[in-house]
Amino acid sequence: MKAPPFAYVRAASLADALARWREAGPEARLLAGGQTLLASLAFRLSEPATLIDISRVAELSGIAEAGEAIRIGALTTHAELGASELVRSRLPLIAEAVPLVAHPAVRNRGTIGGSLAFADPAAELPACCVALEATIVAVGAAGERRIPAADFFTGLYTTALAEHELIAAVEVPAARAGERTAILEVARRSGDYAMAGLAARARLEDGRLAEPRLVFFGVGQAPVLARGAMAALAGQAPGRVAIEAAQAALAGDLDPPADLHGGPELKRHLAGVLLARAVRRLGGAEEARAA
């Protein structure tokens, strides 16, 4: 379980990182928090010739208001997200997601940029970004490119990032008045990757769900936007009838692969259970938060 040999270079700035990356070629990898990369190197799932350490690049840090959105620098750790008053007050879904991401020692180093770039289909933050219609700000030699989160996750561990393009930040629209969000998951051990999870968002208007958005994780190749279930919930009161209709529609939204946790039917069942819990949460019930 030792990583293969590689060269290491520490980037001093964003421009320096991009220059060194081009110099080192496409086989080089960026090292940010390293919480996924170093584990995958230990397994020798990849053998990059060079690691370019971007963890001290100041331009990639910080959480700040940017108009109606909150701009989160790619190097922001999960712990920093969890400690941010701005995140707590303006991005409650992200704040609720943080304790579900791994364990304290991992959250102290793992970064949001790393989580999004690695694009594990069972990870929480990619699903949150799709649920909240965040924008990924990518930077390469040609300059900055803004990619909607829904278009960013293109497949298993695959993103819309081009060669030698990195994530500089993610801009997440702040919660609007009346907006409700919830994130729920089932994991064997607290902090492990979810067997199935759901990031949900809607407004409640006159007791009915408006613009519901359901993004499942751990049940597909990437975060899954459950359009059928969303349509079944739109305009409905968040009760049993709407839940059953959405659960029925979910069958057409999901095509879960089998994994170490179990087969597709287990995932479908868990997704339906999470959907019901999430709709009750969106409707105002505080139960099932930890379940």
Partner 1 sequence: MSTQVDITLTVNGERVSRRVEARRHLVDFLRLDLGLMGTHTGCEHGVCGACTVRVDGRIVRGCLVLAASLDGASVETIEGLSDTGEIRDLQEAFVARNACQCGYCTPGMLITAADLLRARPQPTRAEIREHLSGNYCRCTGYHAIVDAVEATARRRNGKAGP
Residues 84-103 close enough to bind partner 1 by CB under 8 A: 99, 102-103
Of residues 27, 58, 89, 104, which one binds partner 1 by CB under 8 A?
A: 104
34 or 228: CB nearest partner 1: 34
Of residues 5, 176, 177, 287, which one binds partner 1 by CB under 8 A?
A: 5
102 or 168: CB nearest partner 1: 102
Q: Of 51-59, 155-163, 258-266, 273-281, which segment contacts partner 1 by CB under 8 A?
A: 51-59
The Cα–Cα gap between 78 and 82 comes to: 6
Of residues 26, 62, 191, 263, which one binds partner 1 by CB under 8 A?
A: 191
Of residues 18, 24, 119, 229, which one binds partner 1 by CB under 8 A?
A: 24
140, containing H or E segment: strand 135-140
The Cα–Cα gap between 266 and 26 comes to: 39
Total residues binding partner 1 (CB under 8 A): 36
Of residues 7, 12, 248, 258, which one binds partner 1 by CB under 8 A?
A: 7
Q: Which residues bind partner 1 (CB under 8 A)?
A: 1-10, 20, 24, 31, 34-35, 38-39, 41-43, 50-51, 53, 55, 79, 99, 102-106, 108-109, 189-191
